[in-house]
Amino acid sequence: MKKFNQFFIRIKTDLVKTKFLVAVFCFLLLSCNKKQENNSQQEKSVIVVVQDLSMSMNPSSSEIAQERKFVSRFLEKGMTSKFDLMLLYSNSTSNSVTNNFKIEWQVTEKASSGYQSKSAKMLEESAIESENDEQKSTMINKMCKKLFDEMPKQKSSQTEIIELIAEFEKLNGRYSDIKVLFISDLIQSSSLANWDSDFPKDKKDAENKAQTDTEKLKNKFGLSDTALGKVTQISVLIPASVDKKKTITPQYYYNTLFGNFSYHKPIEWNSL
């Protein structure tokens, strides 16, 4: 009887150990899956196109065609898989929650996870690549349609450019790589900073204004010094109708302003 009790106790102990090991295994598996999901989210990237809707922007049909061609090439070059596209309008309500249009990348699932021959694996990879190329083309066409065929008719008396930094900072938690394209002359005109009455006169004045506006933005939006920390590219497409003389001193301003929020790469200025 004593031997039987010892045998029973041993079995019970082994069962407890087994249950414990299974519980630990399940916990580790769930933790691993959650970590993979978080990594997958952090690996996502986005291209943000900012369209200026101020009254000074009134492109002709030929200029719109040129802009469409430029944007299409820009997106074609900048997009890879896991890239979302986002459109923000620069107007008097730049920070409105409705001021955005987003096209999300849909990840293509692999057909099988088991053993595959080399030829089968190559065929599957080729099919996924083809699907990705098709999705990329569709996303670019959707964005260009929204930008140029469905452009809002109502123009704004103000141009909130620098206020958009607050919108870029919000993307830091969702994306590991943020690229920005402005279709604008980047002439700031709002209650925060109004260049219609106080345009940057020279390099020194532009840089001083940038320092002042940095503090204004931090006070108004609570921006951190790393608000643009995930931004890897900023490009500007200056419309053909814009007086190029008005684009010189703003370059000094934005180099300083964006640098104050941790963007230290050159800004790419493009003219049509």
Percent of the chain with pLDDT over 90: 58
Interval 120-132: pLDDT, tens:
777 777 777 888 8
Which of the four pLDDT bands, split at 50, 70 and 90, describes residue 26? very low
pLDDT score of 39: 45
Residues 6+ apart with CB under 8 A from 53: 89, 90, 91, 151, 152, 154, 155, 156
- Give yes or no for a contact between 105 and 82, defined as CB atoms under 8 angstroms apart: yes
The CATH number assigned to the domain with range 44-271 reads 3.40.50
Which of the four pLDDT bands, split at 50, 70 and 90, describes residue 110? low
Determine the 3-state secondary structure of 257 from DSSP: helix
- Is the confidence at residue 22, as pLDDT, over 50? no
Q: Compute the distance between CA of residue 184 and CA of residue 52 in angstroms, rounded to an integer.
A: 5
- Is the confidence at residue 158, as pLDDT, over 60? yes
262: left (phi over 0), alpha (psi -120 to 50) or beta: left
Mean pLDDT, residues 208-232: 98
Would strands 231-238 and 268-271 be described as parallel, antiparallel, or unpaired? parallel
Domain chopping of the chain, boundaries: 1-42, 44-271
Lowest mean pLDDT among 40-54, 94-108, 205-219, 258-272: 94-108
Strand partners, 54: 156
- Is the confidence at residue 244, as pLDDT, over 90? no
Burial class (CB in 10 A: 0-12, 13-18, 19+), 204: exposed
- Give yes or no for a contact between 47 and 147, defined as CB atoms under 8 angstroms apart: no
| Nearest CA among 213, 267, 258 for reference residue 236 | 267
- Give yes or no for a contact between 246 and 187, defined as CB atoms under 8 angstroms apart: yes
Q: Compute the distance between CA of residue 146 and CA of residue 140 in angstroms, rounded to an integer.
A: 10
- CA 179 to each of CA 8, 234, 246: distance values in angstroms, whole numbers, following the listed order: 66, 6, 25
* Residue position matching structure tokens 């970590």: 35
- Is the confidence at residue 170, as pLDDT, over 70? yes
pTM of the predicted protein model? 0.80
Mean pLDDT, residues 16-29: 49
